Structure 1
Amino acid sequence: MPTHFLGLTDAAVLPTTTYQLTARIIDDLVANLATGVIHGPAGTGKTFAVTDNLERLRAAGGGHQVVTCSLAFPSKPTMLRVAAELVHALTGSEPAASRSRFRLINHLIGLLASTPRLIVIDEAQRLNGECIELLRHLHDHQDTRFALLYVGGDGCWEVLSREPMLRSRVFRRLPFKRLDRAQVPALIRSYHPIYAAADDALLADIDAVYGKGTLRDWAVFTHTAAGLCREARTATIDADVAGNAYALLGGLGS
């Protein structure tokens, strides 16, 4: 079972189009040992969708015998840091401080030459051109066998697409977006039991005031509103509960 933001209990996974396409794209990347990009605004469900599918791959047998590895770097890391942290992620051991970037790259080629892998780079918008080129070099090497997925927030695709050598190699790309306002009531009604019998107008109002089409904001609101519903001994959110939730969350939003 996937872990929901804030440990929200009784929440269901929203079957958005992007959530469902994430599974297809990851499977395509693994099957073809290809490069892909998943990007979009913060809070739109990218990390949840990717993490859920990585768990699916780890739990699966049969045709999904692939080792997964996820890592993220601070803003504008050096090539040496990327190489060193990738070695650590793959082996569990810190490389010797005396090892040069070139020796680490040769070591990485050996590590990535046998078992098929999926390497996920989160917060990919933090990478600079040199680090992107390093990852492309590793992926393109004739001896390596791994799929490469970049995941990032605002500006991710702009950063990656500036590198022609990478852009021409992107096999799958999936942009996440905020929830369409017209679809919010139907989607959110299935998200948590407190919304099951709620009025469409109230759900649309919550989205306009606080949710803003982002799953993370809806999770925060739901965590708060569900607690208020329990205190009021009601199974369904109403305008009073919503108003009290707004107050606890800092007012009517911005």
Structure 2
Amino acid sequence: MTPTEHAPHYLSLPDARTVTTQAVRAAGHALDNALREQTMMCLTADPGVGKTFTLHTLCQQRPTLSALRLLPRPQARPNDLRHSLHHALDLPGDPPQDAGICDDYLRHALEQPPRLLAVDEAHQLSASCIEYLRYLHDDPVPQVTILLLASRPRLKALRSQPALLSRVTTWHHMEPLAADEVFTVLPRFHPLWQNTHHNTLARLDDMWAHGNLRRWAALTHQLQAHLRRRPDQSPEPTALLRRLHPTLAPSA
């Protein structure tokens, strides 16, 4: 395991590594099945578990995969998706103003090679944008697998769309790190945790992180800040927690 350059870790942690967890492997298996069938898949997780980071990781692990990643603004219109796709495909010039002409360009560009079209924060999509994705999915010309990333608390917004319910073949939910997985993942995620006692990791996970990688990144950030100030003094777990949430760890 080596550090991944430019990995989109939360807070851009120096020396953070990309670790293929059980959840990432399971998501990769589900994605490979969707790619073989060129179908629609929805990847969900609680905030901070790592949906977007998992997408980056899976794409890095599949260097031959042609992936288009879209992050539409809330309540985007179909024209917004058209324009985003036009730029993601690196097509020349500005997107045509006429929707039909623009769609013809996009259909031709998406014909080859087969691509993954990943839409982050898909729970924010309007009904008209979901209809547009349905159009791309049902059209026999574009060779696309559509991956929707959504926060589990907002999943109801997607499940309420009839156009998706009959087309999404996989609703894959990512779980946070299991309690025992924390002991193996954290030392590989960042060298600052390599010599940390299991009891300390378990206490931090139980009181704050709960297997959530974004929270572990925040803890790592606080640990780095402490060691910059006091390089010869290892912090107590309560000291780290007080900086993140004062009510979690009362003063000693």
* TM surpasses 0.5: yes
- Pairing of 1:121-160 with structure 2 (within 5 A): 121-160=119-158
Aligned pair in 2 of structure 1 residues 192, 85: CA closer, same or farther (>3 Å)?
closer
What is the TM-score of this pair, normalised by structure 2?
Answer: 0.83
The DSSP-based 3-state class of the residue aligned with 2:108 is helix
Q: Does the 8 Å contact 1:80/1:100 carry over to 2?
A: no
Q: Contact 1:125–1:154 at 8 Å: present in 2 too?
A: no
Local SS of the residue matching 1:39: strand
1:175 offset after TM fit, Å?
0.8
Does structure 1 residue 86 correspond to structure 2 residue 91?
no
Indicate how the Cα distance of structure 1 residues 161 and 250 shifts in structure 2: closer, same or farther if over 3 A, else same: closer
Partner secondary structure for residue 13 of structure 1: coil
Question: How many percent of aligned residue pairs carry the same amino acid?
Answer: 24
**Count of residue correspondences:** 243
Unaligned runs of 5+ in 2: none
TM-fit CA distance, 1:238: 5.0
State the match for 2:53 in structure 1.
Answer: 48
Residues 93-150 of structure 1: CA deviation (Å, up to 9, x unaligned):
4314xx2333322332222223211111011011122211111111211112111111
SS of residue in 2 equivalent to 1:36: strand
Q: Contact 1:18/1:174 (CA < 8 Å) preserved in 2? A: no
Q: Which runs of 5+ in 1 are unaligned?
A: none
Q: Which residue of 1 aligns with 2:221?
A: 223
Q: Does 1:251 align with 2:246?
A: yes
The AA in structure 1 aligned to 2:95 is: P
Question: Which of the residues 191, 196, 211 maps onto 2:194?
Answer: 196
Work out whether 1:19 is the aligned partner of 2:14.
no
- Deviating runs (4+, > 4 A) in structure 1? none
Q: Secondary structure at the match of 1:148?
A: strand
The one-letter code sitting in structure 2 at the alignment partner of 1:95 is P
Q: Please, what TM-score do these two structures have when normalized by structure 1? A: 0.82
Work out the CA distance in 1 between the residues paired with 2:203 and 2:153. 29
- On the 8 A contact 2:130/2:163 being kept in 1, the answer is no
Query: Counterpart of 1:94 in structure 2: which amino acid?
Result: D
